[in-house]
């Protein structure tokens, strides 16, 4: 019985808890999106947020004058963070 309890505890610590933490981070990331942010979607589309709509969508400018209406949840936190870090490094190298 103790062995079964330990297995459940380990499963919770290594699988359920980290996944819940990532979901909270993703939710706060999506809620914090603002106009002008450079983002990457889950599909790999790079663009800049032109407008944040009330219905849970954003207008994403992918090239000057070209816009896509996308769900906020389709924006990847991991890829966007990596893009911002690489742009920060590139900007620092230019200075």
pLDDT of residue 46: 93
How far are the Cα atoms of 22, 70, 89 from residue 9, in angstroms, in the given order? 19, 39, 41
User: Are 52 and 10 members of one domain?
Assistant: no
Domain total for the chain?
A: 2
Same domain, 92 and 74: yes
Q: What is residue 62's three-state secondary structure?
A: strand
Residue environment code for 22-43, b if the CB has 16+ CB neighbours within 10 A, otherwise e:
eeeeeeebbeeeeeebebbbee
Higher pLDDT, 86 or 38: 38
Are residues 84 and 72 part of one domain? yes
Q: What Rg do the C-alpha atoms of the chain give, in angstroms?
A: 18
Q: What is the model's pTM?
A: 0.71
**77-93 residue pLDDT tens:** 988 888 888 877 665 55
Instruction: Let me know whether 48 and 94 are in one domain.
Output: yes
Say yes or no to pLDDT of 10 above 70: yes
Query: In the block, which residue shows the tokens 């309890």?
Result: 5
């Amino acid at each position: 019985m103790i062995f079964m309890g330990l297995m459940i505890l380990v499963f919770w610590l290594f699988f359920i808890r980290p996944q819940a933490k990532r979901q909270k981070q993703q939710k706060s990331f999506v809620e914090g999106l603002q106009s002008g942010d450079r983002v990457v979607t889950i599909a790999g589309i790079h663009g800049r947020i032109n407008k944040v709509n009330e219905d849970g969508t954003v207008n994403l400018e992918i090239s000057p004058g070209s816009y896509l209406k996308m769900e906020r949840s389709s924006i990847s936190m991991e890829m966007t963070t990596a893009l911002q870090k690489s742009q920060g490094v590139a900007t620092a190298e230019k200075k």
